[in-house]
Amino acid sequence: MSVIPVPKSLPHDSAWTHVTGKSEFIDDRPRLRNELVVGLVYSDRAHAKLKKIDFSQALRCEGIEGVFSASDFSHNIWGTIFQDQPLLADQRVHYVGEVILVIAAQTQTQIDAAKRKIKIEYEDLSPILSIQQAIREQSFIAPERKIERGDVDFGMAASDRKLEGHLVIQGAEHFYLESQAAVVYPCDNGSLEIHCSVQHPTEVQHVVSHGLGLTSKDVVVIVKRMGGGFGGKESQGAPIAAYAALVAHKLGRPARLILNKDDDMIMTGKRNPFEIDYKVGFNRDGQIIALDAQLFSDGGAYADLSTSIMERAMLHCDNAYYIPHMRVRGRVCKTHFHPHTAFRGFGGPKGVLMIERIMEEIAFHLGVDALQVRKMNCYREGFDITHYGQKVENNRLPELLHECDEKADYFLRRREIEEFNKTSLRTGGQTLRGLSLTAVKFGISFTTRFLNQGNALINVYRDGSVQVSTGATEMGQGVYARIAQLVSEELGVDTKWIQVMPTSTEKNANTSPTAASSGTDINGAAASLACQQIKARLSELFIQLQKRPLERWASKTAGLGTEPEINVETHVPMQDIFQPAEFFSIHFENGEVFDPKNPTFRISFKDLCNEAYLNRISLCEYAHYKIPNLSFNKITGQVAPLNDEKMGGAFLYFTQGAAASEVSINRDTGEVKVLRTDILMDLGRPVNYALDVGQISGAFVQGMGWMTTENLFYSSTGKLLSHSPSTYKIPSVHDTPRDFRIHLIENNGNYSNLRGTKAVGEPPLLLSVSVWTAILDAIRSTRTDAFPDLVVPATAERVLEALTPGGLDVALKQLMN
């Protein structure tokens, strides 16, 4: 297996403006003279009746232009999957941070003063503040889901060995640098133009128009870029835009709502916390026979995306491993926390954490190396059907495990680490080390079929320059740069001739969120299709021009009408996005158009565009694209045949990879350091190598934060206490692996996707699980009896506790002496 050589990659389209501080974010929009500032009043109770809301005094405060409550919305309800969430709390509040009132004023200072004059009387009700409590009180969102294959009871009975466990996974904060933000301008006939920082402009359009009693045509939503989204702006940006829109709509003035970091962290949902019970049966050499898993997640107070996140968790419990008898059940708990939401990886990492922990545990139990257990259970030929019935096509997992093992010198370092730990334990050394290699197999596609569609609009101008508009939103991941590159390759013009335009619902309607890592797959494919139609027309024109002497071309004679117009009626079939270059007998390269059979005759792309215009040939195209071959049935939990011959999939394909991480843990403080990480991934044939490696390192480090230091801390009454960077520790550059190596394998076999590429946005986050399992491995070296229990994140306190019999108190006392 060979590793891809590093090709030349175009820089991110915002690279220069980001580093020079010129990139415009929402709050950088210039203020208009009559613009209003919007402020929010939210609940400080987790669960209470709203007995009285009195804002009469606030209305009399200087500069206050309006205070709005639930009854000011035409429809005070929204929700992405289930419409279950009020825009403004009415009668009751269900979490700390739930918005009750919207205030409009001329300045922020006036809002702060008015807030102090608002009186809200609550009658406290008892809140549900944990998954266990929700289970006891049977408080759930939606029914239980189940995915099952084989006969788990039979498989369990047939297994030589069995293990049971319980895994606690905490949530995590997205920590995007740009908070939730929206600026809304009132326009003609009561319509609104909304600029906001969201992954899903179409959702904002829906929520705002529905909330205000307008229709979609009355609302235009524009997203130029986000200062990070990470899933936190897939659904949760919509109500924020709705509050600003309410003010603009009611008062007919521009309105600006920018959350500060503390409010953003308190109000918005996080990664869903999970608790998982599992039972696994395996034989003496470590082969897994049966797995029975029950997943519970904390959905918070409203459904948001939690049921879909649970579904993805259930679909990723196998990760890279074939398990013949398998039953996964999943239930979302309704609690009194902020509604939890999408976060890079969606449910995936939760399923993967469980199965990778099981791998370590089986190895501990049998006294063998965990990598051996992983290799033995890895999907391979003949054992390549997932528990939901999809075949793992073009399976590179065995090679990835093998190659990553070699690249990382896994077994050599394993021996070194064992020696190191033995010596450390004997001599009272300060550190212990751990090593673990985990895999990822991440399904690419939205599991809800209708979301897997997109559209693109390409405008080519007479001077040969190109504007591209799609539903994809730019959040730092580089989707604009990738799409520009695809268009550049299709049309054979340099990217400096191509501008990807801010995402707008006016140009691209009925779009899906930029999520599920599918931004480039869906929107890039639509853009490529549109380019192909334009190319087909230009090719036809080229062929005709070849036959005409230059002096009779339209550019020489257009106004006179002396020459007959060239008519073009070409249309390429839309369904095949993998038109090889030869499909077009005319080639588009380096800004020139030519027929390879007669390469001396060339027309510049620019001149050809001008000729097209003068011959009244359209230079613009709109294309729609849908992901093929999807057939996951949510009711049966299985994929269905597409027709007599072909099975469909829950996913179009899988992005795969492996990572080996080595950690050192401090026995006195519990501090964790990641000494080295080797990542090997299969991204097919990347559009932009550098951007993909950027995504891999970013996702891995983001996941590492969740695995180690990012500890969300709530009071006993359900208030988030860690709501700022001083109390919530995300990784800094000093925390990244000391030695960080990233490689991509060569894979030209992903025929199912555009240009043979594979999506990258989320999958590498799941490789950060290797840091957590490496910590488990380091702790394990101190024991022979029971496999350590370790919550995610493995904070210093938890590591210390796991290292010290008797727990943290004993550990702290030892430290004091």
Interface pick for ligand HPA out of 10, 141, 378, 515 (rule CB under 6 A): 515
Residues interacting with ligand MOS, by CB under 6 A?
199, 231, 234, 342-344, 346, 515-516, 762
What stretch of H or E contains 741?
strand 739-744
Give the shortest CB-80-to-ligand HPA separation in angstroms: 7
Q: Check binding of 692 to ligand MTE (CB under 6 A).
A: no
Structural contact between residues 207 and 243, judged by C-beta atoms closer than 8 angstroms: no
Residue nearest ligand HPA (C-beta atom):
516
Q: Which is nearer to ligand MTE, 662 or 762 (CB)?
A: 762
342 binds ligand HPA (CB under 6 A): yes
Among 23-31, 222-230, 394-402, 571-579, which window interacts with ligand MTE (CB under 6 A)? 222-230
Whether 35 contacts 252, CB under 8 Å: no
Contact mark string toward ligand HPA, 227..256, x via CB under 6 A: -------x----------------------
Instruction: Give CA–CA dist 544/796, Å, rounded.
Output: 72
* 346-365 residues near ligand HPA, rule: CB under 6 A: 346
Q: Which residues pair with 684 in a beta bridge?
A: 757
Binding of ligand HPA by 305 (CB under 6 A):
yes
Exposure of 430 by Cβ count < 10 A (0-12 exposed, 13-18 middle, 19+ buried)?
exposed
As measured in angstroms, the least distance from the Cβ of 356 to ligand MTE is 21
Report which of 338, 339, 340, 365 is spatially closest to residue 350, judged by C-alpha positions: 340
d(CA 548, CA 559): 18
Q: Does residue 121 carry a catalytic annotation? A: no
Q: Contact between 472 and ligand HPA (CB under 6 A)?
A: no
Which residues make Cβ contacts (< 8 Å) with residue 253, sequence separation at least 6? 34, 35, 36, 65, 186, 247
> Which is closer to ligand MOS, CB of 224 or CB of 798?
224
What φ, ψ does residue 623 adopt, rounded to 5°? -135, 150
Give the closest residue to 364 by CA, choosing from 434, 294, 427, 413. 434
Measured distance CA(504)–CA(411) in Å, rounded: 52
How many residues can be counted in the chain?
A: 817
CB of 657 to ligand HPA, least distance (A): 18
- Is 688 a binding residue for ligand MTE by CB under 6 A? The answer is no
Residue 236 binds to ligand MTE (criterion: CB under 6 A)? no
750 binds ligand MTE (CB under 6 A): no
**Between residue 447 and residue 506, which ones bind ligand MTE under the rule CB under 6 A?**
475-477, 479
Q: Which of residues 356-395 bind ligand MTE (CB under 6 A)?
A: none
Residue 543 in contact with residue 641, Cβ under 8 Å? no
Closer to ligand HPA at the Cβ: 235 or 395?
235
Neighbour count for residue 787 (Cβ, 10 Å): 18
- Interacting span for ligand HPA (CB under 6 A) from 358-366, 508-516, 685-693, 796-804: 508-516
| Phi, psi values for residue 176, rounded to 5° | -65, 150
Return the one option of ligand MOS, ligand HPA, ligand MTE, none that residue 364 interacts with (CB less than 5 to 8 A, by type): none
Q: Which stretch binds ligand HPA (CB under 6 A): 254-262, 444-452, 745-753, 777-785?
A: 444-452
Q: How far apart are CA 30 and CA 17, in angstroms?
A: 17
- Name the active-site residue from 173, 234, 474, 762: 762
Helices 370-377 and 348-366 pack at an angle, to 10 degrees, of 120
Q: Is 518 in the site for ligand MTE (CB under 6 A)?
A: yes
For 490-511, letters b (16+ CB in 10 Å) and e give bbbbebebbbbbbbbbebbeeb
404 vs 516 by CB, closer to ligand HPA: 516
The tokens describing 131, both together, are 């998954």
Cis amide prior to 793 (ω within 30 degrees): yes
Q: Which stretch binds ligand HPA (CB under 6 A): 44-52, 288-296, 399-407, 443-451?
A: 443-451
Query: Does residue 446 bind ligand HPA (CB under 6 A)?
Result: yes
Question: How many helices, marked H, and strands, marked E, lie in the chain?
Answer: 22, 29
Where in the sequence numbering do the catalytic residues fall? 762
Q: Which residues bind ligand MTE (CB under 6 A)?
A: 228-231, 344, 475-477, 479, 514-520, 695, 698, 759, 761-762
- Write out the residues near ligand HPA by the rule CB under 6 A: 234, 305, 308, 312, 342, 346, 446-448, 451, 513, 515-516
